[in-house]
Amino acid sequence: MNDHKIVSDLIEEKKQQFTDISDSIWGYSEIKYEEVRSAEILGRMLEAEGFQVEWNAGGIETALVGSFGEGKPVIAFLGEYDALSGLSQEAGIAVKSPINDGGNGHGCGHNLLGAGSLAAAVAVRHYMQQTGLKGTVRYYGCPAEEGGGGKAHMVRAGLFDDVDIAFTWHPWDENLAYNCRMLATCQMYFKFTGVSSHASFSPHMGRSALDAVELMNVGANFLREHMIPDARLHYAITNAGGLAPNVVQAEAEVLYKLRAPKSQQVSELLDRVCDIARGAALMTGTNLEMQFDAASADLIPNITLGKLLHKNFLEYGAETYTEEEVAFAKAIQDTFSEEEKKVVKKQNGKVLSEKVNDYSEEPGFIPASTDLGDVSWVVPTGQIYVSTCAFGTPFHSWQLVSQGKSSIAHKGMLLAGKVMAASAIEVMKNPQWIETAKAEHLEQLEGEVYQSLIPAGTKPMPLKRS
């Protein structure tokens, strides 16, 4: 019995359903904690496929968990479906053209991510029914990866407590089994309240909240010299206090995002930033309110699962492309900045990735963050990156959104589902994979215990709108 062919046939049989769901989610373009229709369409297919669906999982309106089977092992597939604000873009064209000015768009490919993981879960479910393979397969619908920490809230709610192995993937411009660490992060709003006054007639009567924001930013920028080199500090002024320069601004707000290699380092950095905010309030005579927004832990890769995924990735091989697909990808590359074109040139002008990269057991490092980190602290987690766009495409860009409904993207999404499903079936049939992955997981943690960066009582927070 060729499990790889069985999985491939199962996914190919339903590929139109998966691509339709992905394209629908692309069209919904719902941002963090607003993914109502996206969660609905995924959950309804799960129900139609015989999964028991827990809606509002963990008390989060747009989270869900679909389960099929019973008993051990419990294998999880993680799906995402949130978009990004300000990235509205027509599909299938190599020119920037928003559908709605200022609207949302899938600039990180999460429409594909959610549907590809769904394909894997459905394929394993049918394989179990056909062969009598025992265990439980689950699809986790995870909202708000983009700055909302949805998985961190789901972990804190105990939704992963009985999971043995988790698999996921991410759209990318190359094909590889992932083995990199990533940064822990948290976000905090700092709102200053002062006293408005006429900025010329009676400035001495005012207390400027905008001055407080600016002083805080100056202090935070001076802090950069005294942070560890791998830490990051970003901010955005979310409320500048109005448009009238002749009024002392009575309200102003800034959102900070902090990153560091370890969660404890993020906590320590946050304490220092909070002290700077308090100092800014003292200097300006304003009041300060701090509101936690989101957080996620650093990512712990699992080499055992990486090697397994790589083996199955090689079994399927990378996708090949038509002349029309290559021409579209080349047209997208022509829109890149000169700096981005240099990256392509260094790879001999590669247009689309048509091979599976070698797997390195030496973990790399990417200075980015993901709420997958929280899952990776409590469950051995394997991840693949699969080519769904022109090589060199910058993520969080209109170019990525434009490619999100292309045949290139659909091919990568379905391939991701096949690789993950075949890997899940292998660990379910051979429990030694699970034992080895769990032993490695404990070793990777080096005796540390997972500590959520989310304060007790904190609720998931939608994107604030000014």
| Residues 47-78 pLDDT 10s | 999 999 999 999 999 999 999 999 999 999 99
Cα 59 to chain centroid, rounded: 20
Same domain as 282, residue 372? no
**What pLDDT is attached to residue 350?**
96
Note if the bond before 73 is cis, omega within 30 degrees.
Answer: yes
Closest CA to 306 of 360, 353, 373, 354: 360
Q: Give domain status of residue 465, yes or no.
A: no
Q: Give domain status of residue 143, yes or no.
A: yes
The total domain count for the chain is: 2
Q: Quick one: average pLDDT of 167-189? A: 96
pLDDT band at 184 (very low <50, low <70, confident <90, very high): very high
Residue whose tokens read 């890997």: 423
Cα(386)–Cα(273) distance, rounded to whole angstroms?
Answer: 38
pTM exceeds 0.85 for this model: yes
Same domain as 169, residue 36? yes
Q: What is the pLDDT of residues 394-428, one digit of tens each?
A: 999 999 999 999 999 999 999 999 999 999 999 99
- Token code pair at residue 347: 């790879």
Cα(386)–Cα(441) distance, rounded to whole angstroms?
Answer: 24
pLDDT band at 461 (very low <50, low <70, confident <90, very high): confident
Q: Alpha-carbon dihedral of residues 262, 264, 265, 267, nearest 10 degrees?
A: 130
Buried/exposed code over 15-41 (b: 16+ C-beta within 10 A; e: otherwise): bebbbebbbebbbbbbbbbbbebbbeb
Q: Quick one: average pLDDT of 427-455? A: 95
Closest CA to 250 of 179, 193, 201: 193
Same domain as 405, residue 259? no
Same domain as 302, residue 195? no
Beta-strand relationship, 74-80 and 135-142: parallel
Residue whose tokens read 């109005």: 242
CA angle 459-76-454, nearest 5°? 20
Asked whether the beta carbons of 444 and 130 are under 8 A apart, the reply is: no
Segments forming the whole domain that contains residue 62: 3-182+298-445
Q: Give domain status of residue 456, yes or no.
A: no
Asked whether the beta carbons of 169 and 195 are under 8 A apart, the reply is: no
Q: What is the CATH number of the domain that holds 321?
A: 3.40.630.10
pLDDT at 251 over 60: yes
Same domain as 174, residue 191? no
Closest CA to 306 of 390, 381, 199, 198: 381
**What pLDDT is attached to residue 1?**
65
pLDDT band at 366 (very low <50, low <70, confident <90, very high): confident
Partnered with residue 69 across adjacent β-strands are: 136
**Residue 133 Rama label (left phi>0; alpha psi -120 to 50; beta):** beta
**What pLDDT is attached to residue 463?**
67
Cα(45)–Cα(319) distance, rounded to whole angstroms?
Answer: 26
Cα 360 to chain centroid, rounded: 23
Rounded to the nearest integer, the mean pLDDT of the chain is 96
pLDDT at 322 over 60: yes
Same domain as 177, residue 238? no
Same domain as 319, residue 173? yes
Q: Give domain status of residue 457, yes or no.
A: no
Q: What is the CATH number of the domain that holds 203?
A: 3.30.70.360
**What pLDDT is attached to residue 466?**
39
Q: Quick one: average pLDDT of 353-375? A: 94
Cα(162)–Cα(305) distance, rounded to whole angstroms?
Answer: 18
Which of these three, 296, 328, 351, is where a domain ends? 296
Same domain as 178, residue 322? yes
pLDDT cut 90: percent of the chain above it: 95
Q: Give domain status of residue 289, yes or no.
A: yes
Q: Give domain status of residue 451, yes or no.
A: no
Residue 192: HSE in the Cβ half-sphere, 13 Å Cα cutoff = 38
Closest CA to 407 of 384, 394, 389, 391: 389
Q: Where are the alpha helices (DSSP H) in 29-147?
A: 36-48, 110-131
Same domain as 318, residue 174? yes
Rounded to 10°, the helix 15-28/3-13 angle is 60
Beta-strand relationship, 165-172 and 381-387: parallel
Same domain as 58, residue 149? yes
Same domain as 285, residue 305? no
Q: At residue 396, what are phi and psi to the nearest 5 degrees?
A: 60, 45
Same domain as 418, residue 334? yes
